[in-house]
Amino acid sequence: MKDKRLKFGIIGLGLMGREFASSVARWCHLLDSPLTPEITAICDVNSALFPWYTDHFPSIKQQTKDYRELLRNPEVEAIFCAVPHNLHEEIYCACINSGRHLMGEKPFGIDKKANENILKMVGAHPECFVRCTSQFPFFPAVQRICGMIEAGSFGQIIEVNCGFKHSSDLDPNKPINWKRMIEINGEYGCMGDLGLHVCHVPFRAGWKINNVRAILSNIMKERPDAQKNRVPCKTWDNATLFCEASEAHRTDCFPLTIKTQRIAPGEKNTWYLEISGTKACAGFSTKNPKSLRILEYQGGEQVWQHIDMGHETAFKTITGGIFEFGFSDAILQMWAAFMYEYYHKQPLKKFAQCATPQEAALSHTLFTAALMSQIEQQTIPLE
């Protein structure tokens, strides 16, 4: 089984390109994987990034600054593309049009129009397996919560709060980078950066968002550039989306609050999910990554349990069941999900799957409505 390989090209060798490569390097960590990724070709406009890859991956036979050249390489079967948002539409479409399988980074297009064009290309190439990154559902505690959603253990949903918070932008002297520039990161600002991570579980649960009232804040209106001049910083730093949602089989609605914040003092990559239901409640935050909070109610006392989660992963690994799980483990699990689904033509289970292009499209509908809500200062219905 293990000698079956899928040959990858990576386009965009920055932060996330390296995370993927590191997962490939420790693929032996996974037990029972039907297919092994192999990095065959790499591409970035910045050739200074090549040596880290070529030093660690002797399988690389092509290094190029032009993604078109990589796409002309007949050995490349699949692509991981991790480039700035303004390039998603052009490069994702070119990858799919060349017949390559694709894992694209979120937000899967800088805006709704770009996303629609990517989705059209996906539709025109059913032979290509296309998924979008989303690693947080793979934390063991989140897998447990998702199992509860699937089993209907929450009863009627009362309320859901979920979010993703960063804090390094609290420093007004942090230099501006592409993630703070509207023309490269997009009008969505923090929603484009962080939003799909937060929406993935609610979307997969089948909770329909009926409308949204958004409050968006641009807190730091300028930042230093590379020359230390203060320049405008126009992206939204923080977004709170108050949504009315409904479960597929009920007419009752419940409040679903989505927070994506780049200026949340004290928070470093804190992803959280809290669900209250009539029969159970659950809460998880990456702040305490092995702690799962559950309250189960069948009458009588309402007692919160705090459970220490070990390494209870969707895709089995060599790590002992009591050991801790972290960010790079979630990335490895996400890639295991990509490879599993590609190989078996179906996911291992409902919540052990990367985000689909359709889920990415739903997030664009939501974030576009949120932008409209901010402009009109009103609740906006979703199509």
Which residue ranges make up the site for ligand NAD (CB under 6 A)? Answer: 11-16, 43-46, 49, 67, 82-85, 87, 105-106, 133, 135, 193
Structure tokens at 281: 């409640």
Q: Which neighbouring-strand residues pair with 283?
A: 274, 293
Q: How far is the CB of 327 from ligand NAD (least distance, A)?
A: 8
Which residues touch 15 (CB under 8 Å, ≥6 apart)?
82
Q: How far is the CB of 331 from ligand NAD (least distance, A)?
A: 8
Q: How far is the CB of 373 from ligand NAD (least distance, A)?
A: 23
Q: How far is the CB of 303 from ligand NAD (least distance, A)?
A: 34
Contact 242, 234 (CB under 8 A): no
Quick one: 14 or 310, whose CB is closer to ligand NAD?
14
Quick one: 105 or 247, whose CB is closer to ligand NAD?
105
CA angle at 196 for the pair 267 and 132, rounded to the nearest 5°: 125
Quick one: 46 or 156, whose CB is closer to ligand NAD?
46
Quick one: 83 or 146, whose CB is closer to ligand NAD?
83
Quick one: 135 or 368, whose CB is closer to ligand NAD?
135
What gap in Å lies between CA 108 and CA 360, rounded to an integer? 6
Q: How far is the CB of 312 from ligand NAD (least distance, A)?
A: 22
Contact 206, 351 (CB under 8 A): no
CB neighbour class for 213 (10 Å; exposed up to 12, middle 13-18, buried from 19): middle
Contact 40, 8 (CB under 8 A): yes
Quick one: 109 or 277, whose CB is closer to ligand NAD?
109
Calculate Rg over the CA atoms of the chain. Answer: 21
Closest by CA to 257, choosing from 268, 241, 234, is: 241
Q: How far is the CB of 194 from ligand NAD (least distance, A)?
A: 9
Q: How far is the CB of 101 from ligand NAD (least distance, A)?
A: 18
Which residues touch 256 (CB under 8 Å, ≥6 apart)?
159, 160, 161, 162, 202, 207, 209, 243, 244, 245
Quick one: 191 or 280, whose CB is closer to ligand NAD?
191
Which residues touch 159 (CB under 8 Å, ≥6 apart)?
254, 255, 256, 257, 275, 276
